Amino acid sequence: MRKKLEEGIDFYYNEDGFVVLTEKFHLGRGYCCGNGCKHCPFDYENVPDQAKRERLRAQKRDANEQKPNNEQTQAS
């Protein structure tokens, strides 16, 4: 039997009302499903379209570069 998903832990609703699965959920599943999920911790390895896979990787890289570095902000 599957565990019931918990809002705020396994998923959340985005501003458009869609369910977004969290990184914690994906890690618990243990593999990339290939759908291009926003919080995929597996580097989109099973996304079948190579161009889409590379685009998703670049978007994630860009988003991570825009986040403030906790070590830099704590050291200031």
| Position 70 pLDDT exceeds 70 | no
Task: Kindly state whether residue 75 falls inside one of the protein's structural domains.
Answer: no
Task: Please give the radius of gyration of the chain, using alpha carbons only, rounded to the nearest integer.
Answer: 15
Task: Kindly state whether residue 34 falls inside one of the protein's structural domains.
Answer: yes
CB neighbours (10 Å) of residue 36?
17
Q: What integer pLDDT is reported at residue 2 of this predicted model?
A: 75
Q: What share of the chain in percent tops pLDDT 90? A: 78
Task: Kindly state whether residue 57 falls inside one of the protein's structural domains.
Answer: yes
The mean pLDDT value for 41-67 works out to: 93
Q: What confidence tens digit (pLDDT) does each residue in 37-50 have?
A: 999 999 999 999 99
Q: How far apart are the first and last CA of the chain?
A: 49
Structural domain tally of the chain? 1
